[in-house]
Amino acid sequence: MGNTVTEKILAKAAGKKNVEVGEIIEAEIDLVMGTDVMMPLSFEIMEEIGAKRVFDREKVVVVLDHFAPAPNIKSASQARDIRENCKKFGIDHMIEVGRGGVCHTIIPDMGFAAPGEVIVGSDSHTTTYGALGAFSTGLGSTDIAVALTLGKLWFRVPPTIKVNFTGELPELIMGKDLILRLLGQIGADGARYKTLEFSGEIISRLEMDDRFTICNMGVEGGAKNAIIEPDDKTLGYLERVCKKPYDIIRSDADAAYENIIEIDCTGMEPQVACPHSPDNVSPVSEVKGIKVNQVYIGSCTNGRISDLRTAARFLKGRTVHPDVRLIVTPASQEVYLQAVREGLAEIFVEAGAAFNTPSCGACFGGHFGVIAGGEVCLSTTNRNFRGRMGSNEGMVYLASPAVAAATALSGRISDPREV
């Protein structure tokens, strides 16, 4: 019996020929990513265990992105302490405000992540980098501190669920719709501590932006990691951004899967996750007409250039509904600059939108667009838990940039195919 791509990556990192599902292994880490939210505690733990330096200064990246730019004195002080600790522990790659953006966009775009690697990050959506064919997972502050110090961690080899997206992809159906469709089917714990391996003819046709979105939200199904085998589109992307060597690893034809899920995308409607969970999913036809107060386009899930282009297609020459606030937040400085160069920023501003600097911002309820009690937000972010984007009494719906732009124009959740 053969092995899955995830099993092969973990075996390689553990220095073994093969690993088995459920086996506990000690794996060498290729990249540790930290953010401004979790790194303060990781630094404290490093102090407690007597760490002096990180294990490899070329394999550590710290990103200031959640409270960036700092919205208050407390977060400004936290960012100052992070800067000081990065110097103290020998971290060269600290991505400053104005020079990067949201971690899960810039880590691959700046060439830090690569196929075949074991990557850990202090954020649950570190599963994003699986779109490159890496084993990539989010961890807590203690595990991150150990990884920063030792460069290795133990893992239990997860079983793999293979998800095949087949059929014909209808117009305006995006990667966000595909992952929401899956989450609605398997539930929030349907892949708990398992690998979600995405494949099928639909995946092969998707560009990298949509693949990043799908792997990003794999964790919303409880997945330990999400992964897509590298193909020509992956290699084309890597040729532009990645300067380090990497290994292309793929599943064996006779690999053993715990389950195989087939999803026929033919005739699929845009999908919407209703409050208060990403797996509470309905086709847009069942929820359209719900009045909204705010529309948010951005985040590590849907703040890439293709997402902004999709939204701009709807907004060009039109005006946001007078009762709606539209907030657009590019996920990186590179995306921001590209949006300016292509005239997308002008389209958004002329339509009546706020065009923010790159930041996690309102996605996690930090700043740049939190909502008040009783307000409804249609967002392209990855979570809609109670209180996630502000007040516990607020309501957040999740959808693609196409649905978001259509909703911003009408003032109610709308099917973009009808706009």
Cα–Cα distance, 153 to 28 (Å, whole number): 7
Residue 361 near residue 368 (C-beta atoms within 8 A): yes
Q: What is the pLDDT of residues 86-98, one digit of tens each?
A: 999 999 999 999 9
Cα–Cα distance, 122 to 125 (Å, whole number): 9
Mention every residue, 6+ apart, whose C-beta is less than 8 A from residue 334. 101, 106, 109
Residue 176 near residue 269 (C-beta atoms within 8 A): no
pLDDT at 48: 96
Mean pLDDT (the chain) is 97
Residue 330 near residue 303 (C-beta atoms within 8 A): yes
pLDDT at 363: 96
pLDDT band at 302 (very low <50, low <70, confident <90, very high): very high
In the Cβ-directed half-sphere of 269, how many Cα atoms lie within 13 Å?
A: 14
pLDDT at 368: 95
Omega within 30 of 0 (cis) for the link into 276: yes
At 233, list the tokens.
């589109």
Q: What mean pLDDT comes out for the span 300-320?
A: 98
Question: Is residue 1's pLDDT more than 90?
Answer: no
Question: Is residue 18's pLDDT more than 90?
Answer: yes
Q: What is the pLDDT of residues 76-87, one digit of tens each?
A: 999 999 999 999
Q: Which amino acid is at 331?
A: A
Residue recorded with tokens 């990246």: 61
Structural domain spans, the chain: 5-262, 271-418
Residue recorded with tokens 């979105």: 213
Q: Which amino acid is at 417?
A: R
3-class secondary structure per residue, the chain? CECCHHHHHHHHHCCCCCCCCCCEEEEECCEEEEECCCHHHHHHHHHHCCCCCCCCHHHEEEECCCCCCCCCHHHHHHHHHHHHHHHHCCCCEEECCCCCECHHHHHHHCCCCCCCCEEEECCHHHHHHHHHCCEEEECCHHHHHHHHHHCEEEEECCCEEEEEEECCCCCCCCHHHHHHHHHHHHCCCCCCCCEEEEECHHHHHCCHHHHHHHHHHHHHHCCCEEEECCCHHHHHHHHHHCCCCCCCCCCCCCECCCEEEEEECCCCCCEEECCCCCCCEEEHHHHCCCECCEEEEEHHHHCCHHHHHHHHHHHCCCCCCCCCEEEEECCEHHHHHHHHHCCHHHHHHHHCCEECCCCCHHHHCCCCCCECCCCEEEECCCCCCCCCCECCCCEEEECCHHHHHHHHHHCECCCHHHC
Torsion-angle region of residue 201: left (phi > 0), alpha (psi -120 to 50) or beta? alpha
Cα–Cα distance, 122 to 399 (Å, whole number): 25
pLDDT band at 210 (very low <50, low <70, confident <90, very high): very high
- Which residues make beta-bridge pairs with 173? none
Do 5-262 and 271-418 come out as alike in CATH topology? yes
Residue 31 near residue 63 (C-beta atoms within 8 A): no
Residue 29 near residue 153 (C-beta atoms within 8 A): yes
Question: Is residue 16's pLDDT more than 90?
Answer: yes
At 328, list the tokens.
């657009």
Q: What mean pLDDT comes out for the span 334-356?
A: 98
Q: Which amino acid is at 410?
A: S
pLDDT at 208: 98
Strand 395-398 relative to strand 160-166, pairing: unpaired
Strand 93-95 relative to strand 281-283, pairing: unpaired
Cα–Cα distance, 358 to 364 (Å, whole number): 14
Omega within 30 of 0 (cis) for the link into 330: no
Residue 82 near residue 63 (C-beta atoms within 8 A): no
Question: Could you tell me the pTM of the whole model?
Answer: 0.97
Q: What mean pLDDT comes out for the span 9-30?
A: 98
CATH 3.40.1800.10, applies to 271-418: no
Percent of the chain with pLDDT over 70: 100
At 42, list the tokens.
């990781």
Beta-carbon count within 10 A of 189 CB: 12
pLDDT at 103: 98
CATH number of 5-262: 3.30.499.10
Question: Is residue 59's pLDDT more than 90?
Answer: yes
Q: What is the pLDDT of residues 230-251, one digit of tens each?
A: 999 999 999 999 999 999 999 9
